[in-house]
Amino acid sequence: MDEARAIGTTLTAARPQALAALLRYFRDLDLAEEAFQEACLRALRTWPQNGPPRDPAAWLIFVGRNVALDSVRRRARQTELPPEEILSDTEDAEADVVARMDGAHYRDDVLRLLFICCHPELPATQQIALALRIVSGLSIGQIARAFLVSEAAMEQRITRAKARIARAQSGEGGVPFEPPGPVERAERLGVVAAMLYLVFNEGYSAAGDQTQAREPLCEEAIRLARLLLRLFPAEPEIMGLAALMLLQHARAAARFDTDGAVILLDRQDRAQWNRAMIAEGLALLDKAMRHRRPGPYQVQAAIAALHARAEKPEDTDWAQIDLLYGTLEILQPSPVVTLNRAVAISKLRGPEAALAMVEPLGDRLGGYFHYHGLRGALLMQLGRTREAREGFMTAISLATTPAEAAHIRSHLDGLK
Amino acid sequence: MFYALLCYHQEDVVCAWTKEEDDAVMQKLAVVQERLAKAGKLGPVARLLPTTAATTLRKDQDPPLVLDGPFAETKEQLLGFYLLDCADLEEALGIARELGAANPGGSYEIRPVGLFVDGGARP
């Protein structure tokens, strides 16, 4: 890795903390971003000569704050900027910043920054785009590619979302800059966790030639979940969320064939699963369960863990998976959860029992691709070919990606 | 003399490496490791999972307290280690420099080993 690249990685890693602290100083997102940007430019100029600072985030906060204050002053009256040497020799001042910025400060700053991106009036896709732009520092181009829109359109979307947040922040409903109380903090963590899972799923649901452009979304979501965990190390649901994402992302290399078609779990080459990610996911789940405070992310991670632990598809503990989906139905009732449970039932008690579970969901899931896909597959197993074909045709008409449609078409071909 | 080479690095930086960057570092390290193994100098090598996967047992109270996360909050975290059979500190430092050239940033702590038990278990 060359030096510029290494500095780039350091800046990326320091970004959430540095930007979050600058936001607390300036209480204005644009100014905070400008200050961070300027500090990064100075880092690229001075770090190669002076070596990287001991605490990059503190350096960026210190320098960013000074440059931004300078530019504010300069706008007020034309004064000289301090020479660069003074800014790059910041050891003492930096230590001072570090002393005043303990872990508690960092963690509420970062949480606030993430939480501000989750403004309830912003649609989910805008929350995700905003978090990727502001917190992760992904380029507009990268985000635009992930969302299949032009750069100009994405630029406009992010600008609008930022304006929306700026309006909210200056009004009554703004997120306050005081440290939150325990209840507020827990609420913010819940909202931010949901947003991170949205980011992950935006990447995970990609198929075919989109996987490459969207893979960074999965990686970013995992990176931010690890960051949250470092800041809030004893939160079982954050452990569960990180475990869930790691266990799912571990299958990335095995999920699509060379033509980009979906490979279902029981047909995947398990040797291609990422063992280190699975180990980390299982370790986190293990830690989470010790807290005896179950939640939806932990239960979903536990289901993913049962798949990860099975060396061959036939080793899968479907009875346990059925029980876990039963728990999830109580924690987070949803017809989609029941649909997933029906898969476990089909393995345990056969297609007839599973179909009985699936049929009543038709009212609510009639427009859902996976409902018709699973229903068709169960009917096919029962030899009810005509109905199966109808189910598959409906599924194809509802497919959201070519890979989904291709997968169902392969079932249809098998019906003849 | 046996030396432990303890690898410290900023975890958030290592976690921000892309898969390609990570693979490239691991590949370069593997070259050095292979040479050390051939020379009969390489003992066990481990890369540790992120500290977020760590749990700490504090024994300064009774019963011991189980805490989530690593033992100490530090700027750089213990991310892995090597055990090396070296003639002296100079040789150990030389190997550390070689490994360091393949793995940018961070620090190596070189600690002589007092007791080594190979229990035989393998992951």
Give the tens place of pLDDT for each residue, A184-203: 899 999 999 999 999 999 88
Strands B107-112 and B55-58: unpaired
Same domain, A274 and A203: no
Domain that holds residue B38: 2-48+76-112
Which of these three, A248, A282, A311, is where a domain ends? A311
CA angle A127, A133, A137 (to 5 degrees): 145
Same domain, A90 and A158: no
Same domain, A64 and A115: no
Q: Answer whether B16's CB lies under 8 Å from A13's CB.
A: yes
Best of A215, A245, A277, A287 to substitute, by most chain B Cβ atoms within 10 angstroms, is A287
Residue with the bigger pLDDT between A99 and A341: it is A341
Same domain, A266 and A279: yes
Cβ contact (<8 Å) for A284 and B52?
A: yes
Same domain, A65 and A79: yes
Give the tens place of pLDDT for each residue, A84-94: 555 545 555 65
The mean predicted confidence, pLDDT, of chain A is: 88
**How far apart (Å, rounded) are the C-alpha atoms in residues A56 and A353?**
59
Q: Answer whether A305's CB lies under 8 Å from A297's CB.
A: no
Listed residue (B92, B47, B50) closest to B68, CA to CA:
B50
Same domain, A93 and A115: no
Shortest Cα distance from A244 to chain B (angstroms)? 14
Position A80 scores a pLDDT of 55
Asked whether residue B92 is assigned to any structural domain, the reply reads yes
CA-nearest residue to A283 within chain B is B53
Asked whether residue B70 is assigned to any structural domain, the reply reads no
Asked whether residue B55 is assigned to any structural domain, the reply reads no
Structurally, how many domains does chain B consist of? Answer: 1
What are the chain A neighbours of B66 within 8 Å (beta carbons)?
290
**How far apart (Å, rounded) are the C-alpha atoms in residues A168 and A121?**
10
Q: Indicate the helix (H) or strand (E) that contains A290.
A: helix A275-290
Asked whether residue A331 is assigned to any structural domain, the reply reads no
CATH of the domain at B15: 3.30.70.1060
**How far apart (Å, rounded) are the C-alpha atoms in residues A400 and A205?**
10
What are the chain B neighbours of A5 within 8 Å (beta carbons)?
21
Per-residue confidence band for A82, with pLDDT thresholds at 50, 70 and 90: low
Position A147 scores a pLDDT of 83
- Residues with Cβ within 8 Å of A195's Cβ and at least 6 positions away in sequence, in order, are A114, A117, A118, A127, A128, A131
Same domain, A83 and A30: yes
- Cis peptide upstream of residue B63 (ω within 30 degrees of 0): yes
**How far apart (Å, rounded) are the C-alpha atoms in residues B120 and B69?**
28
What are the chain B neighbours of A56 within 8 Å (beta carbons)?
10
Asked whether residue B85 is assigned to any structural domain, the reply reads yes
Cβ contact (<8 Å) for A284 and B25?
A: no
Residue with the bigger pLDDT between A293 and A106: it is A293
Domain that holds residue A27: 3-101
Structurally, how many domains does chain A consist of? Answer: 3
- Print burial letters for B30-46: b (CB count within 10 Å at least 16), e (below 16): eebbeebeeeebbbebe
Position B81 scores a pLDDT of 97
Listed residue (B91, B94, B73, B65) closest to B12, CA to CA:
B73
Same domain, A211 and A292: no
Which ipTM was obtained for this model? 0.91
Residue with the bigger pLDDT between A313 and A105: it is A313
- Residues with Cβ within 8 Å of A44's Cβ and at least 6 positions away in sequence, in order, are A4, A7
Asked whether residue B53 is assigned to any structural domain, the reply reads no
Position A95 scores a pLDDT of 57
Give the tens place of pLDDT for each residue, A136-159: 988 999 888 888 889 999 999 999
Query: How distant, in Å, are the alpha carbons of A52, A198, A235, B48, B91 from that of B53?
Result: 28, 23, 12, 9, 33
Specify the pTM: 0.89
Same domain, A227 and A151: yes
Give the tens place of pLDDT for each residue, B67-117: 999 988 888 999 999 999 999 999 999 999 999 999 888 999 999 999 999
Q: Which two tokens stand for residue B68?
A: 């989530």
Whether the predicted pLDDT of A99 surpasses 80? no
**How far apart (Å, rounded) are the C-alpha atoms in residues A12 and B12?**
9
Same domain, A133 and A208: yes
